[in-house]
Structure 1
């Protein structure tokens, strides 16, 4: 632990030296900020935080605990991933499939075919698409578009 305190003191002394050089160059705001940062390691040593932290880092039980926490996190993430992909037990999937129901009004998105029909009347069959004349070429289909483009000089 004495080594850690010595390193923190050396870092603080170096930071204060850099802050002094910066102040000599008339950059006082930056020098003040550097001095503040360089005093942090000495303050941490003085309150005992560095000793507490070094005790944690060098104990194998702490590293084993971190490994267990990592394993728990991995298990949580894996179960979440499997759950989102539709996994689970066969009973859960069967219950979910049974819970799904068709749309309340399946024809609600169908386009309207004209004016309303009387209640109870059978649905009208859609009108067949008009057949193209045999004499028309494929170019005739685009004649309207070509006329518009020519009109605009394109």
Structure 2
């Protein structure tokens, strides 16, 4: 508040302790605190009274006008905004734009659905062609291989040989 740091306050406290004495020091600080509080309250009350008087006399409106004029960029943009307000003509154009946007979105969605259907049909045709090729390849490979018959199975060993082997083991 007064631009005093901790060291200055410490020096003031030590001087007050020496001059006033330790017994009267708390009472003196209480008195100074009350005086400071009353002074702040009076300053607040005075400031409030001045603001009320300024409001009643119209000084605040003049102050706002002066501030607006001192900031030409803001003043210019505010006047441009007022001049370019949405009127019935711009509202009509906005509605037309919204209608065109809806039409374009609908057309794009319809084209996307058609493209997806066409791609699905092409994929199904490609899968069917691949299945046909696979079936033809399987049929061709089945015709080239000889069929498994009893003649192609190796004969079993005669029972006589088995009995001889069993006789030698004992």
Q: Same fold (TM over 0.5)?
A: no
Q: Which has the larger radius of gyration?
A: 2
TM-score of the superposed pair, with normalisation by structure 1: 0.28
Q: Point out which structure has higher relative CO (alpha carbons under 8 A, 6+ apart).
A: 1
TM-score of the superposed pair, with normalisation by structure 2: 0.26
